[in-house]
C-alpha cells in the first residue's frame, strides 16, 4: 500500500511516500525567517509557494491514501497541509489519514531503529518531552516553558548566526570553555527560560563560543537527567531519541554515556528522518490505517494543541 504523507505543522513543508515498510521519497523545503521567530502568515505563504514543487517531487506514483499532520502546530501552516491533503483525496478518490505530528516522530523512530519499548525523548523546535508506552503513548515529563530547539534558535538569533540555530550553536560550542549556568529540573519536568535569560546576559562578558558550549552542556544535561529518571521509574532499559535537535553530536554522546553506565540500549532516529518530514507522516498514517483509522476528505480538520496522548479517533468522530 502506497501512502503519501504531508507535513506542514510549522517551518517545514514536506511530502514523502512509503510503500508498505519502504520509504520511496522524502522531500522538504524549510522556511527560515529573515528576522525574529516563525511568523505564522509568512510560514503559511512559504508553504503555499513550495507545496506544488515538493509534492510533485515526492509523488513517485499514484497513492492509495493520503496522510497529513493534523496537529499540533501553527494554525495557518496546518491549514495548508490539510487543504492539500483534502484536495488530493478528492482528486484520487482515496481515503485520508490524519496523523498526530508528535506521534509520527515517535513511530518513525521505532520503525527506523527497531526500538521496542523505549523511553522516547522528543526534542524539536516546538517540543521537549519524555514519553513512554503505557497503554498508549504517555508523557512522563516535559519542558514547562520553551522547547530546547526553540531556545537554541533564539540564542543563535541573539548571536546573529542565523536559522536554524541548533547546528550553528553546535559548531560554535566546539571551541568554547565551560562556565556555570542555571540548571532547572523539577522532578520529571524542566525549564529552559532561566538558562536562556542567563545565556543572553552572559554574552556581554563571555565569548559566543563559551556561551554556546556552556548552554549545550547544561541544557542537554538537564534532558539526560530526566530521561534517566524516567528509565528508573518505569524500569525500561531503552532510550529512543527523536526530533530535529537529536542531530546534535554532543547530545548523542551524552546519552551514549548515560545509557552505557545504566546498561541501557540507545537508539537514535537517522538524521534524514529526525526533523519534520513527510515520510514520517506517511509512516504514522500507515500505523493508524492498519488499526482501521481513516476519514473522508470532507472530514479533514486540524488541531493546534493536541498532545501525543490525544485520541484522534475521538476527535474525528462524525
Choose the contact partner of 170 out of ligand AMP, Mg ion, none; CB within 5 to 8 A by kind: ligand AMP
For Mg ion, the closer CB: 228 or 276 = 276
Q: 3-class SS at 104?
A: helix
Figure out which of the listed residues 170, 189, 217, 228 binds ligand AMP, where binding follows CB under 6 A: 170
**154 binds ligand AMP per the rule CB under 6 A:** no
3-state SS, the chain, equals CEEEEEECCCCEEEEEEEECCEEEEEEEEECCCCCCCCCHHHHHHHHHHHHHHHHHHHCCCCCCEEEEEEECCCHHHHHHHHHHHHHHHHHHCCCEEEEEHHHHHHHHHHHHHCCCCCEEEEECCCCEEEEEECCCEEEEEEECCCCHHHHHHHHHHHHCCCCCHHHHHHHHHCCCCCCCCCCCEECCEECCHHHHHHHHHHCCCCCHHHHHHHHHHHHHHHHHHHHHHHHHHHCCCEEEEECHHHHCHHHHHHHHHHHHHHCCEEEECCHHHCCCCHHHHHHHHHHHHHCCCCECHHHCCCCCCCCCCCCHHHHCCC
For ligand AMP, the closer CB: 135 or 249 = 249
For ligand AMP, the closer CB: 245 or 264 = 245
Least Å distance, CB 165 to ligand AMP, is 5
- According to DSSP, the β-strands at 12-19 and 22-30 are antiparallel
Pairwise CA distance, residues 88 & 86, whole Å: 6
**Crossing angle of helices 208-234 and 249-262, rounded to 10°:** 30
Figure out which of the listed residues 63, 73, 102, 165 binds ligand AMP, where binding follows CB under 6 A: 165
Least Å distance, CB 176 to ligand AMP, is 14
**113 binds ligand AMP per the rule CB under 6 A:** no
**276 binds Mg ion per the rule CB under 5 A:** yes
**73 binds ligand AMP per the rule CB under 6 A:** no
**95 binds ligand AMP per the rule CB under 6 A:** no
Stretch that binds ligand AMP, among 14-22, 163-171, 197-205, 301-309 (CB under 6 A): 163-171
**176 binds ligand AMP per the rule CB under 6 A:** no
For Mg ion, the closer CB: 23 or 264 = 23
The residue written with cell numbers 495557518 in the block is: 76
Please report how many Cα atoms fall inside a 13 Å half-sphere around the Cα of residue 272, on the Cβ side: 7
Site for ligand AMP in 229-288 (CB under 6 A): 243-245, 247-248, 275-276
How many residues lie near Mg ion (CB under 5 A)? 2
Figure out which of the listed residues 124, 128, 143, 277 binds Mg ion, where binding follows CB under 5 A: 124
Least Å distance, CB 155 to ligand AMP, is 10
Least Å distance, CB 276 to ligand AMP, is 4
**125 binds ligand AMP per the rule CB under 6 A:** yes
- According to DSSP, the β-strands at 238-242 and 119-123 are parallel
**129 binds ligand AMP per the rule CB under 6 A:** no
Choose the contact partner of 166 out of Mg ion, ligand AMP, none; CB within 5 to 8 A by kind: ligand AMP
**297 binds ligand AMP per the rule CB under 6 A:** no
Stretch that binds ligand AMP, among 51-59, 162-170, 260-268, 282-290 (CB under 6 A): 162-170
Q: Which residues of this protein are in contact with ligand AMP, per CB under 6 A? A: 12, 124-126, 149, 152-153, 164-167, 170, 243-245, 247-248, 275-276
Amino acid at each position: 500500500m502506497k501512502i503519501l504523507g504531508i507535513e506542514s505543522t510549522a517551518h517545514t513543508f514536506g511530502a514523502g511516500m512509503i510503500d508498505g515498510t519502504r520509504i520511496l521519497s522524502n522531500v522538504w523545503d524549510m522556511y527560515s525567517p529573515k528576522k525574529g521567530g516563525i511568523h505564522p502568515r509568512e510560514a503559511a505563504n512559504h508553504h503555499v509557494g513550495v507545496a506544488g514543487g515538493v509534492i510533485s517531487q515526492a509523488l513517485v506514483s499514484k497513492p492509495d491514501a493520503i496522510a497529513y499532520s493534523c496537529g499540533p502546530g501553527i494554525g495557518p501552516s496546518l491549514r495548508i497541509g490539510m487543504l492539500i491533503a483534502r484536495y488530493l483525496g478528492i482528486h484520487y478518490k482515496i481515503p485520508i489519514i490524519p496523523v498526530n505530528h508528535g506521534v509520527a516522530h515517535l513511530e518513525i523512530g521505532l520503525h527506523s531503529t527497531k526500538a521496542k519499548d523505549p523511553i522516547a525523548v522528543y526534542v524539536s523546535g516546538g517540543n521537549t518531552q519524555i514519553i513512554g508506552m503505557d497503554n498508549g503513548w504517555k508523557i512522563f515529563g516535559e519542558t514547562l516553558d520553551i522547547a530546547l530547539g526553540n531556545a537554541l534558535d533564539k540564542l543563535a538569533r541573539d548571536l546573529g548566526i542565523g536559522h536554524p540555530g541548533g547546528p550553528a550553536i553546535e559548531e560554535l560550542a566546539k571551541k568554547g570553555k565551560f562556565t556555570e549556568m542555571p540548571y532547572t529540573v523539577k522532578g520529571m519536568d524542566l525549564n529552559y527560560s532561566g538558562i536562556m535569560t542567563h545565556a543572553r546576559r552572559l554574552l556581554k562578558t563571555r565569548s559566543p563560543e563559551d556561551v554556546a558550549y556552556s548552554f549545550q552542556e547544561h541544557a542537554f544535561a538537564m534532558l539526560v537527567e530526566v530521561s534517566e529518571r524516567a528509565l528508573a521509574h518505569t524500569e525500561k532499559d531503552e532510550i529512543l531519541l527523536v526530533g530535529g535537535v537529536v542531530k546534535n553530536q554532543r547530545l548523542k554522546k551524552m546519552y551514549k554515556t548515560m545509557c552505557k553506565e545504566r546498561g541501557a540500549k540507545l537508539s537514535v532516529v537517522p538524521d534524514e528522518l529526525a526533523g519534520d518530514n513527510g515520510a514520517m507522516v506517511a509512516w504514522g498514517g500507515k500505523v493508524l490505517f492498519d488499526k482501521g483509522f481513516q476519514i473522508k476528505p470532507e472530514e479533514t480538520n486540524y488541531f493546534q494543541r493536541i498532545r501525543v496522548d490525544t485520541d484522534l479517533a475521538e476527535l474525528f468522530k462524525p
